[in-house]
Structure 1
Amino acid sequence: MQALRNLFRAPWSSDVKLDGQTAVITGANTGIGKETAIDLAKRGARVILACRDMEKAQAAVTEIIESSGNDGVVCMKLDLSDSKSIRGFAEEINKNEAKLNLLINNAGVMVCPYGKTADGFEMQIGVNHFGHFLLTYLLIDLIKRSAPARIINVSSMAHSWGSINLEDINSEKSYNKSKAYAQSKLANVLFTRSLGKRLEGTGVTTYSLHPGVVQTDLWRHLSTPERFFITIARPFTKNSIQGAQTTIYCAVEPSLEKESGGYYSDCAPANCSAAGKDDELAQKLWELSCKMLSLSWD
């Protein structure tokens, strides 16, 4: 019903300006991350593209500056599959940036063949969840000092098909790429919920979202039957500009200032799965994440 209602609502738009604010967007050299960066740059924000491929990132910076007329756009190296890279990136941000008003955890890998990160995590849970969990942890003090601030985690409706396997989070006993993807996207929703509770009263709010079924290069690992299905469904999919709108909504919409921990789709509050609202599961995932990353984060 929520999705049907959203379908008939007028498109969301806002003229909110972000002059003097700083945003970090992971995976912003392509797709919805890049469109989000263009929008925030047009609103006057200083935008830092956190990307693995610096050649593509530099090309994106040039394009974003030309498109927005804002030369306060830079890129920095970040490989979310390697905790050393994450720590190095965070160190640079903490040293050189006076504030961080928006952290948009956008980067992700999708239904890829089994692989492991530099730290031995299954690639999808490693990049999509553990990488962003660690990044957020390392930047949280700067974000708190910059309040009001927002942390946005790009999830997916695929979270609703997911479950968290606390006993085998890295899918070492058996691997199904779609299940592992769904698990990582459910982890995004649960992390957002837990983090929102922990940040109550700090002026920092959290949001997770489904961008829509977006035409993106994340589809490169899909099987032939899956590609066929997507081709059939193409008229109902979104392009990158449309796909970025809910991220932008969560970043700038004034009415969300007092909301935190929720899940959004089509620029409106949406229902996440029962598992996505399970506070006990969220707590267990939080504790496991801290343990896997050797962190102490109360």
Structure 2
Amino acid sequence: MEELGKLITENQTIIASLGVAAITVAVFRRWKAGGRCLSKARLDGKTVIITGANTGIGKETAVDLANRGARVILACRDKSRGENALADVIKRTGSKQVVLKSLDLASLESVRKFAQDINKTEPRINILLNNAGVMMCPYMKTSDGFEMQFGTNHLGHFLLTNLLLEKIKRSAPARIINVSSLAHTFTTKINYDKIKDEKSYSRIEAYAQSKLANILFSRELSRRLQGTGVTVNSLHPGSVATELGRYFPGFTILYPTLSLFFKSPWEGAQTNIHCAVEESLENVTGKYFSDCAVVQESKAARDDEAAKSLWEMSAKMVGIQQ
């Protein structure tokens, strides 16, 4: 009887431990997954542009918005990968309103050609999702000579948005969404001189500055668009298992295990989607989101004077009037 009692106690302990482990895993998965977009809003008759829509959260966002009835323009740099993404989005949604257009954000000429095409052929732009980006790459320059991360993540989107702005305003109510990152907290100010010099180059600092720029740009643009019916918000999608980290040391080895700890692309796309469709956000502008909720950005990202200075500097760099 004593042995039987011990066996029962051991089994109960094992069962209890397994139960705790299962609950822990479930809680971790829910925490990792983050927020969910719960809106059922339709987008029939609306036109959406998504940069970097050939992979990751950009493609998952395209699938969701196409399923809601939107005309979705996939703005992609790589033609071959863009065509594969286009075929996949159409297959998954059955939509005949998904199109592919060429856009290389590391080339101001490409940005201008894309904007010219859109302004000529598209009657409206209801949602512009500036999603594309590059993260922690080695020192490289855009075709116009700018540091690659700042040039692609910020300057390319800054020019694109400004060139499409009049059409967006005529399409109001409309939304502009800029994908930033928690990495914006890794720096305290925009100092382009610090990242344009190859000798003192820091991949992390350059990425952080580009993500801080995304938020400051959103802040200043939202101020300039007050009363137009166009909202501008930025967001942190979370840590997502995508190819964005391909330049990170050891990425090839670590990539197969990222899904255990990071969000899936579908999970990472939820805040994109929330900011694009949630009805209660119709008049919400100048905010920063994470996990489908407004959160507070860093002190540096709330600096209105820094936002104005960045706008002036960016306008000069890309050659547009302020």
TM-score range, shorter chain: over 0.9
Alignment of 1:135-284 (within 5 A): 135-166=160-191, 168=193, 170-172=195-197, 174-224=200-250, 235-284=260-309
TM-score by length of 2: 0.86
TM superposition outliers: structure 1 runs of 4+ over 3 Å: 6-12, 163-167, 226-236
Change over 3 Å in CA distance of 1:16–1:171 after alignment to 2:
same
Give the Å deviation of 1:235: 3.3
Gaps of 5+ in 1: 1-5
Distance in structure 2 (CA, Å) of the matches to 1:258 and 1:237: 32
| Match in the other structure for 1:54 | 79
Query: For the Cα contact (< 8 Å) 2:237–2:291, is it kept in 1?
Result: yes
1:45 is the counterpart of 2:70: yes
Deviations 1:149-189 (A, max 9, x none): 00000000001112334351642162100110010000001
Q: How far is the alpha carbon of 1:219 from its aligned partner?
A: 1.2
Q: 1:273 to 1:232 in 2, by over 3 A?
A: farther
Q: Which is helix-richer, 1 or 2?
A: 2
| Alpha-carbon distance in 2 for matches of 1:250, 1:73 | 20
Q: Quote the Cα distance in structure 1 between the aligned partners of 2:257 and 2:116.
A: 45
Identity over aligned residues, as a percent? 55
Structure 2 Cα separation of the partners of residues 279 and 120 of structure 1: 28
Match of 1:3 in 2: none
Q: Deviations over 1:9-34 (max 9, x none)?
A: 97431110000000000000100000
Determine helix, strand or coil for the equivalent of 1:209.
Answer: strand
- Let me know the Cα RMSD of the aligned residues: 2.0
Q: Distance in 2 between matches of 1:128 and 1:54?
A: 19
The count of residues paired between Structure 1 and Structure 2 equals 292
Structure 2 counterpart of 1:262, which letter? Answer: K
Aligned equivalent of 2:50: 25
Q: Which moved more, 1:199-208 or 1:215-224?
A: 215-224
Query: Cα distance, 1:84 vs. partner?
Result: 0.5
- Letter matched to residue 40 of structure 1: L
Q: Distance in 2 between matches of 1:9 and 1:209?
A: 13
Contact 1:50 1:77 in 2 (8 A): yes
In structure 2, give the amino acid aligned to 1:15.
K
SS in 1 for 2:200: coil
Alignment check: 8 A CA contact 1:121 1:170 kept: no
Aligned residue identity for 1:101? N
1:62-89 CA-partner distances (Å, limit 9, x unpaired): 1111111211000000000001100000
Q: Which has the larger radius of gyration?
A: 2
Listed as ranges, the gaps of 5+ residues in structure 2 are: 1-29
Instruction: Single out whichever of 227-236 and 284-293 deviates more from structure 2.
Output: 227-236
Query: What is the identity, as a one-letter code, of the residue corresponding to 2:149?
Result: Q
